[in-house]
Amino acid sequence: MSGKALAIVGKRETVMPFLATGARVIYVKEGNCVQTVEGLIKEGTKIILFTEEFIEELSDILLKYRTETLPCLIPIPSGRGKTKVAIERIRGVIKKAVGADIFLEER
Amino acid sequence: MQLLYLKRRGNVARRGHKLLKDKQDELMRRILEFVYRIRELRLRIEEDLRSAFGYFYFASSKQAPKATDEALLAVSKSIDIEHSTERILNLKIPKFSKKISGQLIGYGFLSTSGDLDLALMKIDQLISRLLELAELEKTLELLANEIEKTRRRVNALEYILIPSIDETIKFINLKLSEMERGDLTRLMRVKEIVRSKV
């Protein structure tokens, strides 16, 4: 099971340091991210961390697994400045649920 | 018959509505707790990750690219994730725990720069917080979904089902009393006719 439960997906230069954690690190480029993540889910990966820049590309998958307990698909910052997409995503989720933007004071 | 049935249904609907409303309030309270925790955690992770990446890029620019690759390949660590589920208000929430084995630094110090050690150590420390974030964000998402669903149910009960049942009950009641009045006047009229003939 080692390295199978946790996978980190992203561009080579961004996710390479994560090799130090012992997690499974997978390099992807724009375009093949969706297949990679789908493959990982089929293999039974529980947590998939992906870098923020792929959030758009993966939006269908994110929507599909929104109501399931597993897998956990979590965007992580790519380390190149603040893209804020991930925070925007949570904000959207909360806005939809609560009906008000309670993340607001952060701005 | 139908009236009794509807009255019972109305009562059940009202009870259900109260329960669901309570559930919605509780979900809302919990989601607010999570929101603040997630925000703090995410901001902290972002900060740390950026500094770790900074060290890493710095290190890899100082040494030969092959050396970085080799150093990373030499990491003998492996991480095992154990997962269990917890229930919050009938929602299955994932919980993760990790087991780490092996060593972080398995490369020679000669060909790599000190910044690499720092970067890798920082990222290594981050992983448990990333797991926590994964757990929390998934929980938040599930809670948000549940709130949406519950809100829809509460609204359906409050604005559609309960009023329509009430209206039907009212209609039946009116009809029944109308029929009763009709019966009564008919009876009185018959009695009058009989009395006048005698």
The verdict on a CB contact (< 8 Å) between A97 and B46 is no
* Structure confidence at residue B118 (pLDDT): 80
Q: Is residue A102 part of a domain?
A: no
* Structure confidence at residue A107 (pLDDT): 47
Q: Which CATH fold would you assign to the domain B2-177?
A: Helix Hairpins (1.10.287)
Picking from A49, A80, A90 by the largest number of B CB atoms within 10 A of its own CB, the best residue to mutate is A90
pTM for this model (two decimals): 0.82
pLDDT digits (tens, 9 = 90+) for A44-95: 888 898 888 888 888 888 888 888 888 888 888 876 666 677 778 888 888 8
The verdict on a CB contact (< 8 Å) between A76 and B45 is yes
Residue A58, SS3?
Answer: coil
pLDDT digits (tens, 9 = 90+) for A12-51: 888 888 887 778 888 988 888 888 899 999 888 888 988 8
Share of chain B above pLDDT 70, in %: 96
Q: Is residue A19 part of a domain?
A: yes
Q: Is residue A97 part of a domain?
A: no
Chain B residues within an 8 Å CB radius of A6: 79, 81, 131
DSSP B105: -
- State mean pLDDT over B131-139: 88
* Structure confidence at residue B160 (pLDDT): 94
Q: Is residue A101 part of a domain?
A: no
Sign of CA dihedral A10, A14, A19, A22: negative
Picking from B141, B143, B146 by the largest number of A CB atoms within 10 A of its own CB, the best residue to mutate is B141
The whole-chain average pLDDT of chain A stands at: 81
Contact assessment for residue B162 and residue B10, using Cβ atoms and an 8 Å cutoff: yes
Q: Is residue A88 part of a domain?
A: no
pLDDT digits (tens, 9 = 90+) for B159-190: 999 999 999 999 999 999 999 999 999 999 99
pLDDT digits (tens, 9 = 90+) for B1-53: 889 999 999 999 999 999 999 999 999 888 888 888 888 888 888 888 888 88
Query: Given B53, B101, B102, which is nearest A79 (Cβ)?
Result: B53
Determine the Cα–Cα distance for residues B90 and B70; give it in Å rounded to an integer: 48
Determine the Cα–Cα distance for residues B87 and B84; give it in Å rounded to an integer: 10
| Structural domain that includes position A44 | 6-78
* Domain at A61, CATH number: 3.40.50.10580
Q: Is residue A57 part of a domain?
A: yes
Query: Given A66, A69, A77, which is nearest B92 (Cβ)?
Result: A69
Q: Is B128 buried (19+), middle (13-18) or exposed (0-12) by CB count in 10 A?
A: middle
Q: Is residue A56 part of a domain?
A: yes
A72-76 β-sheet, strand order: A24-27, A6-10, A47-51, A72-76
Q: Answer whether residue A106 shows pLDDT above 60.
A: no
Number of domains composing chain A = 1
